[in-house]
Amino acid sequence: MKRYQGMVFSQAKKAFLTDEEAEDFTQEVFIQTYESLSKFRGESQFSTWLFQIARFRLTKVFKKKKLPIVDWQEDISFVADKTGSTVVEILDKEETSHNLRSLISKLPKSYQMPILLHYFENKPLKEIALDLNIKLNTIKSHISRGKDLLRKWWSHEIEG
């Protein structure tokens, strides 16, 4: 829970008006995740599976309240131009989300992990460097190179 709490909470803060609502939502996600652990097949990374649980739970909450769905993919703003809005139609973004996850999974692991930790788990660069036992400047370089590759691949996705 400690490892992924920041990722879920930071996304929940974008979706809910108050920190209390975001905290409650985060707690509910982890309860549901715990109750569903027997269903985790290991076909994806645990963080991906947890992220999907959170996203589906958020969609359910917003549909029940008849609110517009929040786009959890705002963290991809470094790849594509964004309007700055965090509220979007889920169907319009589903393909974009899938394509980006696919592209990130194709990155070399040395680029992939720092990008995931920094942009999706909101870890500071210094902490990532310590966690991965890599120099800070190397982490910065890996993130920069990874983002460059994603931009390049993304432009081919859009053009192609």
Enumerate the domain spans of the chain: 1-70, 95-160
The alpha-helical segments, DSSP class H, found in the chain are 2-15, 19-35, 46-64, 90-106, 109-115, 125-132, 136-159
Provide the pLDDT confidence category of residue 139 given band limits of 50, 70 and 90.
very high
Domain 1-70: which topology?
Answer: Rna Polymerase Sigma Factor; Chain: A (1.10.1740)
Which residue, among 79, 127, 83, has the nearest Cα to 103 in the 3D structure? 79
Helix/strand/coil for 72: helix
Domain 95-160 CATH class label? mainly alpha
Percentage of residues of the chain with pLDDT beyond 70? 74
List, for residues 49-103, the tens digit of each pLDDT value.
Answer: 887 888 778 777 766 665 544 444 444 444 433 343 333 343 345 556 667 777 8
Say what the pLDDT of residue 66 is: 55
Which residue, among 59, 64, 48, has the nearest Cα to 105 in the 3D structure? 48
pLDDT of residue 36 exceeding 80, the answer is yes
